[in-house]
Each structure stands twice: as C-alpha cells, then as structure tokens.
Amino acid sequence: QVQLVESGGGLVQPGGSLRLSCAASGSIFSIYAMGWYRQAPGKQREMVARIISDSSAIYTDSVKGRFTISRDHAKNTVYLQMNSLNSEDTAVYYCNADVDVFTNRIRRGNYWGQGTQVTVSS
C-alpha cells in the first residue's frame, strides 16, 4: 500500500504564505498524478490543484495566480506553494495521488493523506 504524509500547515496572517509538502512512500512503482484538495467546515471537499507526470497542472479558479503545485519525482513528493492567503483558504488540506503500486503485479490505485490544517486569520 501507499502512505501519504503531509506537512507545512499552520496559522498564517492574511496575505501570508505557506508551503505544503506531501511525501509518498510504500510499494510504489511510479506516481502518475498528485494533487491537493481542501475541505472547509460545513463545505464539500474541493480540488485545489493537481499535477500529472508530464507536469501539466490544473487549479481551481479561486487559487489561480496565487498557488503553485510542483513535484519532485525523485522524492515522490508534491508541494503546494500558497501565496496571498486569505480567510477563504482556511481548510483542511488533503494530499491525493494516483499511484502504480507493486503487489503481485503493478496496479493503479488512488490514495489520500491524513490532512493538514491551514488557518488564515489575523
């Protein structure tokens, strides 16, 4: 199986920045895509950003121009650089990955991290 471990969340003032990291480990053959999702209290989970193995990335409209997703393939890690944060960015952020996994064969699976809290407040 695959484990996704997130870090980098915390409390930041409006206009500030944070960088989230998510490192994947386990019986990984390769990672096709990694992404970040978030869920605010009382709201549905939404996709924030996603990046595919060829570095093609997509973003939800509300973060375009402020957030940047990137991958370090050698470290099986995805990052989310978050700038110009505002209160609407407050949420639990979850890492997600589409992974080709070694069991008795290579199999594609989808995995989630445990989530990391981002709070934007003065």
Tens of pLDDT along the chain (122 residues) come to: 899 999 999 999 999 999 999 999 999 999 999 999 999 999 999 999 999 977 899 999 999 999 999 999 999 999 999 999 999 999 999 999 999 998 888 899 999 999 999 999 99
Distances (CA, A) of 94 to 2, 12, 75, 103, 106: 15, 18, 18, 25, 25
Contacts of 44 by beta carbon, 8 Å cutoff, 6+ apart: none
Q: What is the C-alpha separation between 106 and 39, in angstroms, rounded?
A: 31
Exposed, middle or buried, 105 (CB in 10 Å: 0-12/13-18/19+)? exposed
Q: What is the pLDDT of residue 55?
A: 82
Q: What is the pLDDT of residue 103?
A: 84
- Count CB neighbours of 66 within 10 A: 15
